[in-house]
Amino acid sequence: MKMIFYPALFAFVLFLQIVIPPDAFACTRVVYKGPNNTVMTGRSMDFSLEIPANLWIFPRGMKRNGEVGANSVEWVSKYGSIAASSWDIATPDGMNEKGLVANLLWLVQSEYPEFDINGDRQGLAISMWAQYMLDNFATVAEAVEAMRDEPFAVVSDFIPGTDKFTTVHLSLSDATGDNAIFEYVNGKLVIHHDPSYIVMTNDPIFEEQLALARYWENIPGKVFLPGSVTATDRFVRASFFIDAIPQTDNTRVAVAAVFSVIRNVSVPYGFEIEGFPNLSTTQWRVVSDQKNLVYYFETALTPNTFWVDLKKVDLSEGAHVKKLDLSNHKTYSGETSGKFVRSEPFQFIGI
């Protein structure tokens, strides 16, 4: 087989490997759009340590506050949701009953606004950022309009027991296929809103990810794709493969195809690169079927993918909060809505 060498491409890839910092969390998120309103969002959750996750059912009508003291935002949830927790202190991923999906991914370059706990501006703990969106909005457009004037400050802090200051950006997608990316750059909220924004990884900021995408449009993906586990390489592979997989409204095929893309951009379990300790193992993966309201989940250390059909879950106001315990590598298979048990809601960590 004759190999084709692209000097400019080689130089560009080398440049990216040098100037883009290694990921702290090497997550990837991608949105699939098939015929007949088929929309699915897949993501990987990557972390250098095993990151305990449980699944939670949150009904409508839950009273919440932003967990940052007297100036916390307060609200009552308008929509029920399923959420994956991290350490049962935060929601990094979930889908609500209207098909809105929220995903948090690491972004080292995030800079949040200053927050005075005794000041006048309201605040929201970063642990609740995704859950706030799931609780309050049915569509991406609604969320973008509500957040445009920055009605509150997102307040971050260190992950308990670590020296890692939480720096994330937020992606939203909805059942129409609309997308938005929310980032804090130099202390200001930047919103990128367009249905075409179907892929997001970690660093760099999304504006630079878009520039990366434009560059790779001129490189034939069937001839060359970058194969490392860096955010930039994963962005390129995810962008190519999400367009290359079958366009179908067959749910079984579409879910399998989206999972195959997310697995392609996952980091092998236990993989390490000397000198790059922050490149992280994929701990769990999700595919959210926003048309049929089914949430598919798999972890690296259990053998099965299982799913939850939100149409079989009671999300009405006054219904019980329920939990699916995934601790100690508990294994589930098939549709698991009946396996959730009544539980007190976890406490979101604040300041």
Average pLDDT, the chain: 88
Measured in whole angstroms, the distance separating CA 47 from the mean position of its chain's CA atoms is: 13
8 Å CB contact between 285 and 29? no
For 212, phi then psi, to 5°, come to -60, -45
pLDDT of residue 211: 76
Tokens of 242: 């999400």
Those residues with Cβ within 8 angstroms of residue 99's Cβ, 6 or more apart along the chain or in another chain: 39, 174, 175, 290, 291, 293
Enter the pTM of the model: 0.89
Mean pLDDT for 258-276 is 84
Position 83 scores a pLDDT of 98
pLDDT in tens, 289-333: 999 999 999 998 888 899 999 999 999 999 999 999 999 999 999
The arithmetic mean of pLDDT across residues 233-251, rounded, is 93
Q: What does the pLDDT average to over 267-274?
A: 78
Domain ranges of the chain: 7-342
Q: Which pLDDT score is estimated for 46?
A: 86
- 270 falls in which pLDDT band (50, 70, 90)? confident
- CB atoms < 10 A from the CB of 224, how many? 17
Look at residue 228 in the predicted model and tell me its pLDDT. Answer: 79
CA distance 133 to 26: 23
pLDDT in tens, 73-94: 999 999 999 999 999 999 999 9
Give the model's confidence band at 24: pLDDT under 50 very low, under 70 low, under 90 confident, else very high.
very low
Of 259, 212, 267, nearest to 239 (Cα)?
212
pLDDT of 187 higher than 90: yes
**Catalytic residues, which ones?**
27
Q: Of 148 and 278, which is predicted with more confidence? A: 148
Contact (Cβ atoms closer than 8 angstroms) between residue 214 and residue 236? no
pLDDT digits (tens, 9 = 90+) for 133-162: 999 999 999 999 999 999 999 999 998 888
Q: Which CATH architecture has domain 7-342?
A: 4-Layer Sandwich (3.60)
Place of tokens 């290359």: 244
For Cα atoms 27, 315, 79, give the angle at the middle one, nearest 5 degrees: 65
What number is the average pLDDT over the span 53-71?
97
Q: What is the band of 238 on the pLDDT scale with cuts at 50, 70, 90?
A: very high
**pLDDT at position 1, please?**
38
Q: Structure tokens of 164?
A: 């890692």
Is residue 264 very low, low, confident or very high in pLDDT (cuts 50, 70, 90)? very high
Answer whether residue 17 shows pLDDT above 50.
Answer: no
pLDDT of residue 202: 81
- Mean pLDDT score, 205-210: 81
Please choose, from the candidates 26, 18, 24, the residue with its C-alpha nearest in 3D space to the C-alpha of residue 234. Answer: 26
- Is the predicted pLDDT of residue 5 greater than 70, yes or no? no
Closest CA to 278 of 7, 3, 10, 26: 26
pLDDT band at residue 208 using 50, 70 and 90 as cut-offs: confident
Q: 89: buried, middle or exposed (CB in 10 Å: 19+, 13-18, 0-12)?
A: middle
CB-CB contact of 97 with 139 (8 Å): no
Q: Residue 319: what residue type?
A: A
Dihedrals phi, psi of 154, to nearest 5 degrees:
-80, 125
Task: Give the percent of the chain with pLDDT over 90.
Answer: 68
How high is the pLDDT of residue 36?
Answer: 98
In whole angstroms, what is the distance from residue 227 CA to residue 28 CA?
14
Beta strands in the chain (DSSP E): 28-34, 38-46, 55-58, 63-65, 74-76, 81-86, 90-96, 101-106, 123-125, 153-155, 168-173, 179-185, 188-193, 199-200, 282-289, 294-299, 306-309, 322-324, 334-335, 341-342
